[in-house]
Amino acid sequence: MTQPTTGVPTTGAPTTALVAEARRRRTFAVISHPDAGKSTLTEALLLHAHAITTAGATHGKAGRRGTVSDWMAMEQARGISVTSAAIQFEYRDSVINLVDTPGHADFSEDTYRVLSAVDAAVMLVDASKGLEVQTMKLFDVCRQRNLPVITVINKWDRPGLDALALMDEIRTRTGLLPTPLTWPVGIAGDFRGVIDRSTEEFIRFTRTAGGATAADSDRVPFDVAAAEEGEAWVTATEESELLGEEDQDHDEARFLANQTTPVLFAAAVLNFGVQHILDTLVDFAPAAEARVDAAGGHRPVASPFSGFVFKVQSGMNASHRDYVAFVRVCSGQFRRGMIVTHAATGRPFATKYAQHLFGREREVADEAWPGDIVGLVNASALRVGDSIFESEPVEFPPLPMFAPEHFRAVRSADSSKHKQFRRGIDQLDHEGVIQVLRSDLRGDQAPVLGAVGPMQFEVVEERMTHDFGAAIRSEALPYQIARRTNRESAEILGHDRQVEVLMRSDGTLLALFSTPWRLRNTVRDHPELMLEDLTAGALEPTPAA
3-state secondary structure 302-362: CCCCEEEEEEEEECCCCCCCCEEEEEEEEECCEECCCEEEECCCCEEEECCCEEEEECCEE
Q: Are 452 and 108 in contact (CB under 8 A)?
A: yes
Structural contact between residues 451 and 429, judged by C-beta atoms closer than 8 angstroms: no
Phi, psi of 124 (to 5 degrees): -95, 130
Q: Is 103 annotated as a binding residue?
A: yes
Crossing angle of the two packed helices 108-115 and 133-144, in degrees rounded to 10: 30
Q: Is 101 annotated as a binding residue?
A: yes
- Backbone dihedral angles phi then psi of residue 283, each to the nearest 5 degrees: -80, -35
Give the CB-side neighbour count of residue 158, counting CA atoms within 13 A: 14
∠ Cα 433 313 468 (to 5°): 75
- Please report the DSSP string for 204-247 in residue order: EEE--GGG-SPPEEEEE-HHHHHHHHTHHHHHHHHHHHHHHHTT
Is-contact 105 134, C-beta < 8 A? yes
Residue 345 is assigned to a ligand binding site: no
Strand partners, 429: none
How far is Cα 81 from Cα 134, in angstroms, rounded to an integer?
A: 14
* Burial (0-12, 13-18, 19+ Cβ within 10 Å), 497: exposed
Nearest CA among 299, 488, 316 for reference residue 397: 299
**Do residues 217 and 203 touch, judged by C-beta distance below 8 A?**
yes
User: What is the DSSP annotation of 435-498?
Assistant: EEEE-TTTTTTSPEEEESSTHHHHHHHHHHHHTSS--EEEEE-S--EEEEE-HHHHHHHTT-TT
Indicate the angle between helix axes 222-229 and 231-245, nearest 10 degrees.
130
Distance (Å, rounded) from C-alpha 406 to C-alpha 416?
Answer: 28
Question: Beta-carbon neighbour count of residue 34 at 10 Å?
Answer: 19
Rounded Cα distance between 29 and 19, Å, is 22
Binding residues for GTP: 100-104
Binding residues: 100-104
